[in-house]
Chain A
Amino acid sequence: MISVGIDAGSATTKAVLVKDDSSIVHSIHPTAFDFVSAAEKAYEDVLRVAGIERKDVDSVYSTGYGRNNINFANKAISEITAHAMGVYHFYSEVKGIIDIGGQDCKVIAVNDGKVTDFLMNDKCAAGTGKFLEYTARALEVPIEELGNLALASESPAGITSMCTVFAESEVISLRAKGFSKEDIAAGLVESIARRVAVMARQVGLKENVAFVGGVAKNTGIKAALEKELGISLHMVPEPQITGALGAALYGNS
């Protein structure tokens, strides 16, 4: 049984090939403008690496923002269901998932790999990777360094705005007041952690919570979220590919 999952995300397109439930190959491509050609490239990539031909693939399931545009997929499933399955594969005790991506933030309650409840942030960049991207820019630091900078702070600056646009101007005014980069970075990280923690509490996540999505790679955010929620977050080996993996496994089941 060979199944492929394609996660057509807004920033990156991920493909995962699963053979007989065990061997897993993945590939990550920037999505750029064209969802379909990014998906094609990622698909060809995993086929090449796995040494498998297209005709031998039993099912292709798509997920992610562009899931309905992938014409070579047999079926599209939501990334919420896909992430739950993907994380469950790595971490079978999982009861909750926090997924912070570029465009949105999802909090999912899971039981036996199945979604039992979920929340997504509403129509706005608050609590997403975009928030970090914009505010890091106002701080003139690369986004990857934001987390480590934050960890070096001893008294985080208070960032009161949840709104990305207003937070950006708040950062500029804190800079003007002479706050250090570290303290502002810590303020930003705390602000996003607070926002996400509210959602996690609404869905009732308490233990065995996995942290996935592109932002999960950011250690500062992880530390701030753990402090805010009072639990330690479980990391899966490849947090960026759990959606594509889940789609592949869904097709497999």
Chain B
Amino acid sequence: MPMPVGKMHSFKSLENIKNSYIERIHQVSDERKKGKKSVGTFCLFVPDEIIFAAGADRMILCGGKNDTVSIAEQYLPRNICPLVKSSFGSIVNDGCSGIKSCSHFSMVDMIVAENTCDSKKKMYELLDNYVPTYVIDLPQRPDTPEAMRYFLSELEKFRDAMEQLTGNKVTDERLKEEIRSSNETRKLLHKLYELRKRDPSPISGIEVLKILQKQYFLSPDKLKEYLRELINEVESTEPEQVHKPRIMISGCPMPGGNTKVPAIIESKGGAIVAEESCTGTRSFWDMVDENKDHMLALAERYIKIPCSCMSPNERRIDNILELAREFKVDGVVYYTLQFCHGYNIEKYKVQQALKKAGIPMLSIETDYSDSDVEQIGLRVDAFLEMIS
């Protein structure tokens, strides 16, 4: 994998994050010995706040590694998205048979899943044979009052399930605290992204991605600590004054282990300044209203996440245009995983909207293998030459 060239400097606070995986594993393992429950999640639509308010811990189980894809293919069709295959392979293989950075997959008492895309939905049915899997249903026409009512009732059921798992009551007080804590994380991420609006951006896209990949893996306290340290360091560092083409990535998530496309873009001389992605703005852009009924506030905030499983999803198009302007991007790289029908089909609408706004777009559809690195490199080269 090519390394970013012309890298400004390495941030000391990012060095600390390198040890965070093993620290977190020890932390969760100790907690579990003391009787604390741990749940695995896959998606932004599952409110962290409810899990923590019930006194459980959580770790994200989205797979970004290619190694476990072939394990999953013993059970799942080849022609589905690599994220689903990688995740499933990691879990059924009980910590991936010693593959590095994989042991957390076997450290959950329950999986909290959600009905988003077809591949995940059907994969969860199989997953239940290995780990008890609770599924939150998700209305996919988000802008109706009926959808809101239904989603709220789903979240209430989920809260009851968490209470049952942990034996703790989810009190209003606890929920309030957790909402405040999560909003604080969101504000820190906003602050970090605010710094990327500088030209040139003081921090590379790969560096930001590596933190965002751990957003739902680390404990909220640890994440905030890392973010504060990093923000302080970035704020006080002068970036090199080399203008690079400013790129926004838009599309599918890039779970831990997968930095393929951003690594190519930055090794070719592009600077990623924003990601409209689950490992990007979608995860933190909107706050939860702290001044209304907590469950209702959660439902309102979470149902608005502009995932391509939603229809209509104009909110996402508007958001992409807004981000492109705010971050002054020279071009958008539309990133999709093979067989991710939602984001792949939505590409057409995004492309039309960007064209109208005069913003160039490059589309890359790929998987977790390295077989197309050269071809993607050529497209990225040509795109950067085009927008420079």
Residues of chain B in range 270-329 having any CB-CB distance to chain A below 8 Å = none
Of the residues A118, A122, A123, contact of B382 by C-beta under 8 Å: A118
Query: Is B238 interfacial (CB-CB < 8 Å)?
Result: no
B332 nearest CB across to chain A (Å): 13
Query: Is A36 interfacial (CB-CB < 8 Å)?
Result: no
Docked Cα-Cα span, A76 to B377, in Å, equals 12
CB-CB contacts of A62-75 with B at 8 A, as 1s and 0s? Answer: 00010000000000
Among B51-59, B121-129, B249-257, B367-375, the stretch that binds chain A is B367-375
Query: Is A148 interfacial (CB-CB < 8 Å)?
Result: no
Query: Is A50 interfacial (CB-CB < 8 Å)?
Result: no
Interface range on chain A (Cβ under 8 Å from partner): 10 to 19
Q: Is the CB–CB distance between A116 and B386 below 8 Å?
A: yes
Total interface residues on B, CB under 8 Å, equals 12
Docked Cα-Cα span, A76 to B379, in Å, equals 14
Of the residues A76, A104, A115, contact of B386 by C-beta under 8 Å: A115
Docked Cα-Cα span, A20 to B365, in Å, equals 42
Q: Is the CB–CB distance between A80 and B372 below 8 Å?
A: no
Q: Is the CB–CB distance between B374 and A80 below 8 Å?
A: no
Query: Is A231 interfacial (CB-CB < 8 Å)?
Result: no
- Say what secondary structure dominates the interface of chain A: mixed
Q: Is the CB–CB distance between B371 and A80 below 8 Å?
A: no
Taking CB atoms, residues of chain B closer than 8 Å to A123 are: 371-372, 375
Taking CB atoms, residues of chain A closer than 8 Å to B381 are: 76-78, 80-81
Q: Is the CB–CB distance between A117 and B360 below 8 Å?
A: yes
- Chain B residue at minimal CB-CB distance from A115: B386
Taking CB atoms, residues of chain A closer than 8 Å to B22 are: none
Query: Is A79 interfacial (CB-CB < 8 Å)?
Result: yes
Docked Cα-Cα span, A147 to B360, in Å, equals 37
Docked Cα-Cα span, A76 to B374, in Å, equals 14
Q: Is the CB–CB distance between A115 and B382 below 8 Å?
A: yes
Taking CB atoms, residues of chain B closer than 8 Å to A116 are: 360, 386
- Chain A residue at minimal CB-CB distance from B348: A202
Q: Is the CB–CB distance between A79 and B360 below 8 Å?
A: no
Contact residues of A with B, CB < 8 Å? 65, 76-81, 104, 114-118, 120, 122-123
Q: Across chains A and B, which 3 residue pairs bring their CB atoms closest together, nearest first?
A: A80-B382, A78-B382, A78-B381
With A80-B382, A118-B379, A120-B379 known, 4 other A-B pairs at CB within 8 A are A65-B374, A79-B382, A116-B360, A123-B372
22 pairs from A and B in contact (CB 8 Å cutoff): A65-B378, A77-B385, A78-B378, A78-B382, A78-B385, A80-B378, A80-B382, A80-B385, A80-B386, A81-B382, A81-B385, A104-B375, A114-B386, A115-B382, A115-B386, A116-B360, A117-B360, A118-B382, A120-B375, A120-B378, A120-B379, A122-B365
